[in-house]
Amino acid sequence: MAIALTTEDATVETRAFVRHDGILYAQPLLDWAPRHEVRFFPEAPGSYVVEIEWRRVDGSTGWVSVPAEVSAGVRLVAVPRTLRVDARTELWVPSEWESLVMKTHEASTTRHLDRIVKKDAVVYDVGANLGLYSALFCRLVGPGGVVYAFEANPVCLYFLQVNRSLNRLDRLEILPLAVLDCSSTVPFTLNYRNLLVGNTDAGTHMNKPGHTIGVPAVALDDVIEALNLRPPDVVKIDIEGAESAAVLGMRSTIERYHPAILVEIHGQGAAHATLDAPVWSGYDFLETTSGKHFENAADLRAWFPNACLQVVARHHERGS
């Protein structure tokens, strides 16, 4: 969404805040700078007001409010509800909008899971969110396997543990951590009207309104040893543009164990950074929406469009 700013004074600076369905995000969407327009990405349907503050070098200031309505085409209820995933799996989700997104966005990848995740496997769900993949992984690995779910968003963690209990996912262990390339405390931005999306500073914000908090982050190479985790057979990564940092933080794990990796790659920049990582020797790739197959990371990098796509990487030693 773009809002044009018209002024004849090139020294005027502006900053912008966003209200969304009654929530005023106190962190500026855009900080002070001269600009001709305000751009932001609406994270979910609803009523928006962009509050634009301006100032001149002579000390004068003021505010302009710009309302906007983003429609999903149907009336949506902003209350928690359950989503039936399959005959054995039901999830609590924060709203009807997130229920619709979850049902449609992940379908192209979830149909591949039974070819990748085998009985008794160890699966790392990096960016577990509300637990859709974690629940499906637990069904596939059975009582001899284990699923480690990594999630940094504290509101999603609430729903994740509720869904663990609701679905009796005894093989699911939840780790309230962000996964990046080092151990630290990092800023994390969440949007309360679309909890399916959260960003660390290593991710892609694209001027998305939200609330920033600090969360603990780890590199998988470090946490496996520190917590005596079983090494992975499969790693799923969906962390909103920070996938390259997560891959670099598990370089030793990839080189030693050659896990299958399901990764959502957020555009060409993230594709270049992720696929240039020195970890992909012996891997080939499947882009799940188109079904295109790539013999190596360089071929996938050269093809990758400026889009958010899900990719399955398999090592030759693991078979097809």
Is the Cβ–Cβ distance between 102 and 83 less than 8 Å?
yes
Q: What angle do CA 236, 260, 309 make, to 5 degrees?
A: 50
Cα atoms found within 13 Å of the Cα of residue 36, Cβ hemisphere only = 1
Superfamily of domain 81-318: Vaccinia Virus protein VP39 (3.40.50.150)
d(CA 279, CA 253): 10
pLDDT 10s per residue in the chain (320 long)?
889 988 778 889 999 999 999 999 999 999 999 999 999 888 889 999 999 999 999 999 999 999 999 988 877 888 999 999 989 999 999 998 888 888 776 666 777 898 999 999 999 999 999 999 999 999 999 999 999 999 999 999 999 999 999 999 999 999 999 999 999 999 998 888 888 778 787 665 567 788 999 999 999 999 999 999 999 999 999 998 899 999 999 999 999 999 999 999 999 999 999 999 999 999 999 999 899 999 999 999 999 999 999 999 999 987 65
Domain ranges of the chain: 2-70, 81-318
- Compute CA distances 112 → 73, 108, 167, whole Å: 30, 8, 21
Q: 170: which residues sit within 8 A by CB, 6+ positions away?
A: 138, 143
2-70 in CATH: which number?
2.60.40
In the numeric block, which tokens belong to residue 143?
């009582």
